[in-house]
Amino acid sequence: MKEISCKLLVIGAGPGGYVCAIRAGQLGVDTMIVEAKKPGGTCLNVGCIPSKALIHAADEFFKVHEMAAGSDPLGISLASPAIDMGKTVAWKDRIVGRLNTGVAGLLKKAKVKSIEGWARFCDGKTVEVETETGRQVIRAETIVIATGSTPVELPFLPFGGKIISSTEALSLNAVPSTLAVVGGGYIGLELGTAFAKLGSRVMVVEALPRILPLYDAELTKPVAKRLSELGVTVLTGAKAKGLSQSGEALVVEDNGKTQEIPADRVLVTVGRKPATEGWGIEEIDLDRSGPFIRVDERCHTSMRGVYAIGDVTGEPMLAHRAIAQGEMVAEIVAGHRRGWDKRAIPAVCFTDPEVVAVGMSPEEARQTGAELKIGQFPFSANGRAMTLQGEAGFVRVVARADNHLVLGIQAVGSGVSELSAAFSLAIEMGARLEDIAGTIHAHPTQSEGFQEAALKALGQALHA
Ligand SMILES: Cc1cc2nc3c(=O)[nH]c(=O)nc-3n(C[C@H](O)[C@H](O)[C@H](O)COP(=O)(O)OP(=O)(O)OC[C@H]3O[C@@H](n4cnc5c(N)ncnc54)[C@H](O)[C@@H]3O)c2cc1C
């Protein structure tokens, strides 16, 4: 058995792990990273990137499909389009492949040693890796656990055959004619919308009273409206029970009534769970916070010299949180004084229209006991949104009434994911309403809606 040592060992090369390793390497820390699959983790291989590729392909297809239907107000007409899902998936895989190679290259450039295989803790300083060429023991001064998360499986709808997780949904070589989506959170709705645009008859089953339950109701209304326009049926307060006896349909209990939904595929997107199994967590006896590994504000676990970052440490399970934690831990290991000091983690749903939330919702802000000023500006009054045929939705700014400090910013609308950077920057820099209102926003852009929302909160709206 070979034995090697390093100062820092990172387990898992998702966005948390690979960023941590790159930054540590750049800072001159002798670093190794172990990954069982391909570099990039869930995000790059079966998450953020491939889902957005599929969503883009579906949007493009739907656009030309609408034009071919003869209902295009822009006056564009064309013959009926077709889609070759094999080619779409191959295109998506090429993007993923380029990014895999890119991450591997960046690790190499930062002088990080990459090891392919499954890592398992022997003790708090030693890890054993099953590699293709045999077992490798690695001793490290510091270890970062970045093992990520996996899809939650329902015991009565186990993955396999027609019951799929997001991973399989991203590589289907044909568009299912009927798709039942169990779970109306962001992953289910992003993929459900994409398949509806590609031609599937989609039904979403959500146990809670409304879709996207983590966002405030007003923000999700335009999404619900669009789903209905796209022919997606949404059953809320309904529970999936399993496949019918014939296996052809999904059995759903909806307000006391049982019904069968025809489903070529059943996509189960009821959440993700931290990947805490199979790598010897029991050998190091880490404290937990529910199912997650408990960490402090420096991402340190209950064991000395062991850090944890990303999805394995808790909500929100988002790539940019993992990245920020990874970068911070690398600097701590390199001897810098760092702690988690972020004011907000943006959340984006790439639904149609898109949803962005940064900081506090109006309800959360009210709960602080502060008097509020809230300004909301509709995209129906924004010139750029009109020219992009994206008038649904709005931007909303929530601020304290006394000193106008901005507490939260939300938006729903076509393409608003790109506004998330401005929203996050405003919150991170402690902007007041006057800072946003007094910044010149380029015309004509959807971002003018952000300035207008701040002006509205100040009682000075110009265009509404
Ligand atoms: C369909 C979908 C869409 C998503 N869209 C978005 C989005 O738009 N924006 C966003 O911010 N987030 C999105 N996410 C969530 C995002 O993918 C995760 O938050 C992010 O990948 C978490 O990063 P991580 O580094 O914690 O772990 P992961 O990306 O899960 O990476 C963990 C890695 O560790 C490896 N590993 C685990 N155990 C071991 C071991 N013992 N030995 C060796 N290797 C191991 C795994 O193989 C994996 O590669 C999406 C997720 C899904 C499923």
Ligand 1, atom 20: closest residue by C-alpha: 319
| Tens-digit pLDDT profile for residues 242-293 | 999 999 999 999 988 999 999 999 999 999 999 999 999 988 989 999 999 9
Would you mind telling me the total number of residues written for the chain in this entry?
464
Name the percent of the chain lying above pLDDT 70: 100
**pLDDT for 1:** 67
Among candidate residues 65, 336, 441, 443, the one labeled active-site is 443
Q: Is the CB of 276 under 6 A from ligand 1?
A: no
Distance 148 CA to ligand 1 centre (A): 5
Query: Which ligand 1 atom is at minimum distance from the Cα of 39?
Result: 49
pLDDT at res. 396: 98
Give the separation between CA 270 and CA 5, rounded to whole angstroms: 40
pLDDT confidence band for 66 (50 / 70 / 90):
very high
Q: Which two structure tokens, joined as six digits, stand for 42? A: 């869930």
Q: Please give the distance, rounded to the nearest whole angstrom, from the Cα atom of residue 323 to the centre of ligand 1.
A: 11
- With a 6 Å cutoff on the Cβ, whether 119 touches ligand 1 is yes
Q: Which strand (E) or helix (H) includes residue 394?
A: strand 394-400
- 72 band by pLDDT with thresholds 50, 70 and 90: confident
Q: Report the run of H or E that residue 422 belongs to, with start and end.
A: helix 420-428
**Is the model's pLDDT at 190 over the cut of 90?**
yes
Nearest-atom number in ligand 1 for the CA of 118 is 42
Write out pLDDT tens, residues 326-349: 999 999 999 999 999 999 999 999
What pLDDT is recorded for position 2? Answer: 77
Q: Which residues of 55-83 are buried (b: 16+ CB within 10 A; e: fewer)?
A: bebbeebbebbebeeeeeeeeeeeeeeeb
**pLDDT of res. 83:** 96
Average pLDDT, the chain: 97
Q: Whose CA is nearest to atom 15 of ligand 1?
A: 318
> How sure is the predictor about 16, in pLDDT bands with cuts at 50, 70 and 90?
very high
Q: For residue 233, with 0-12 CB atoms within 10 Å meaning exposed, 13-18 middle and 19 or more buried, which class applies?
A: middle
Task: Specify the residue with its C-alpha closest to ligand 1, atom 45.
Answer: 12
Mutation to probe ligand 1, out of 10, 48, 268 (largest number of atoms < 8 A from CB): 48
Q: What are phi and psi of 266, to 5 degrees?
A: -120, 115
pLDDT (tens digit per residue) in 19-37: 999 999 999 999 999 999 9
Nearest atom in ligand 1 to the alpha carbon of residue 318 is 19
How far apart are the CA of 170 and the centre of ligand 1, in A?
A: 15
Q: Ligand 1: which of 11, 20, 42 to mutate, most ligand atoms within 8 Å of CB?
A: 42
Looking up tokens 């931290």, which residue turns up? Answer: 274
397 lines ligand 1 (CB under 6 A): no
pLDDT at 71 over 90: no
Cα 241 vs. chain centroid, distance in angstroms? Answer: 27
Tokens of 24: 């540590």
Is 324's C-beta closer than 6 angstroms to any atom of ligand 1? no
Ligand 1 atom, smallest distance to 48 CA: 5
Average pLDDT estimate for 366-382: 97
DSSP 297-363: TT-B-SSTTEEE-GGGG-SS--HHHHHHHHHHHHHHHTT-------S---EEE-SSSEEEEEE--HH
**Would you call 463 a catalytic residue per the annotation?**
no
Kindly state if the Cβ of 11 falls inside 6 Å of ligand 1: yes
**pTM (2 d.p.):** 0.97
Q: Is 37 in the pocket of ligand 1 (CB under 6 A)?
A: yes
> Is residue 392 in contact with ligand 1, taking CB distance under 6 Å?
no
Q: Is pLDDT of 312 > 90?
A: yes
User: What are the beta bridge partners of residue 374?
Assistant: 398
Q: Which residue has its alpha carbon closest to ligand 1 atom 3?
A: 47
Helices and strands: H and E segment counts in the chain: 14, 24
| Contact in structure between 344 and 427 (CB atoms under 8 Å) | yes
Q: Is 321 in the pocket of ligand 1 (CB under 6 A)?
A: no
Q: Report the run of H or E that residue 25 belongs to, with start and end.
A: helix 15-26
- 317 touches ligand 1 (CB under 6 Å): yes
